[in-house]
Amino acid sequence: MAEQNTMPHLNNQSRLLTDKNTEYEIMFKREGGATNLDSIKSRESRTPEQNAKTYDEWVIKGTYEQDTANLGYSGPQITADTVAMVFPKNKEKIRILDMAAGTGLVAIRLRKHGFKRIDAVDPSPASKKVAMEKNVYGRYLVDFVDERRLDIETDEYDCVVSAGGFGPGLMPSIALKEFVRVVKPGGYACFSCTEYILSLSKDHKEKFEALIEEYIRQGVWEKVSRSVVQGYFDFKPGVVYVFRVLKSEVQP
Ligand SMILES: C[S@@+](CC[C@H](N)C(=O)[O-])C[C@H]1O[C@@H](n2cnc3c(N)ncnc32)[C@H](O)[C@@H]1O
């Protein structure tokens, strides 16, 4: 396993997002705001099913990948590249689960690195259809990732990955518990999100990094890195987290 200093873009910043709200307010004013900010924030007041349907319809319309590319979405590439640094050898043997997998952008990049054993979870059937046509996943489970136990065995994977899946109305903070359960001890969790998006919803603002720290305190995982990367989405920074999972269960 590569250590932190072999991942040059990972600079291990550990400041909590909640400390940065004022900074974001200033940034939004200076840069003319983030794209579709109101629409992203309004997802918080809708049900998970309504939000998943929005993605489903976006994918059926056929413009999800182009629209996000137009907004400079590089989250899948950055996240998959990080996984490749975590597992420098025997990539074809590493079992990976992609949470909130969407149309398969993370898996496409993982496959370019030589990973072959990749499964997926996402509640959008249209995303599954598009992703499966690309032949990048083995199993693709259509389901929400939240506080419930997924139809996946404990300790089944070497790595869980996710890009862009946390945010208002998407995966709630408590989904991290399921990230921990499906990864075997000694495996890794590598996930990322747009930095400002995590500060938009009450759940992520109050619980996301608090839960991450709580799991460190419980010895559930140890932090490998927390990196702020430029140009993640909407030409704004993202955060890429890497943890080494030590246990399968978290305390309630
Ligand atoms: C911004 S997209 C990211 C998709 C993909 N990872 C990518 O980078 O292109 C967010 C995805 O989260 C999915 N989603 C929404 N709510 C979810 C939930 N509770 N659990 C898992 N995925 C969810 C949506 O269907 C959508 O595919």
* 64 CB near ligand 1 (under 6 Å): no
| pLDDT band at residue 10 under the 50/70/90 scheme | very low
Alpha helix (H) residue ranges in the chain: 21-30, 37-42, 48-61, 64-70, 75-86, 105-112, 125-133, 175-182, 195-198, 202-203, 209-217
pLDDT at 11 over 90: no
Token readout for 143 is: 């389901």
| Predicted pLDDT at 1 | 37
- Candidate ranges 31-35, 37-41, 186-190; pick with highest mean pLDDT: 186-190
Residue length of the chain: 252
| Predicted pLDDT at 29 | 55
pLDDT, one tens digit per residue, over 131-179 is: 999 999 999 999 999 999 999 999 999 999 999 999 999 999 999 999 9
Q: From ligand 1's centre to the CA of 5, what distance in Å?
A: 30
SS3 content of the chain, % helix, strand, coil (to 5): 40, 25, 35
Amino acid of residue 212: I
Residue nearest to atom 6 of ligand 1 (CA): 101
pLDDT, one tens digit per residue, over 92-107 is: 999 999 999 999 999 9
Alpha helix (H) residue ranges in 71-174: 75-86, 105-112, 125-133
Q: What is the CATH number of domain 4-245?
A: 3.40.50.150
Of ligand 1's atoms, which has the minimum distance to the CA of residue 162?
Answer: 6
Mean pLDDT, rounded, for 69-97: 96
Apex 163 CA angle, 159 and 167, nearest 5: 125
**Cβ contact 172:145 at 8 Å:** no
Q: From ligand 1's centre to the CA of 123, what distance in Å?
A: 8
Q: From ligand 1's centre to the CA of 165, what distance in Å?
A: 5
For β-strands 221-233 and 236-245, DSSP reports them as antiparallel
* 105 CB near ligand 1 (under 6 Å): yes
Token readout for 246 is: 């030590």
Local structure of 173: helix, strand or coil:
coil
pLDDT at 75 over 50: yes
Q: What are phi and psi of 38, to 5 degrees?
A: -65, -40
Q: From ligand 1's centre to the CA of 228, what distance in Å?
A: 21
**Cβ contact 124:59 at 8 Å:** yes
- Other Cβ atoms closer than 10 A to 30: 8
* 83 CB near ligand 1 (under 6 Å): no
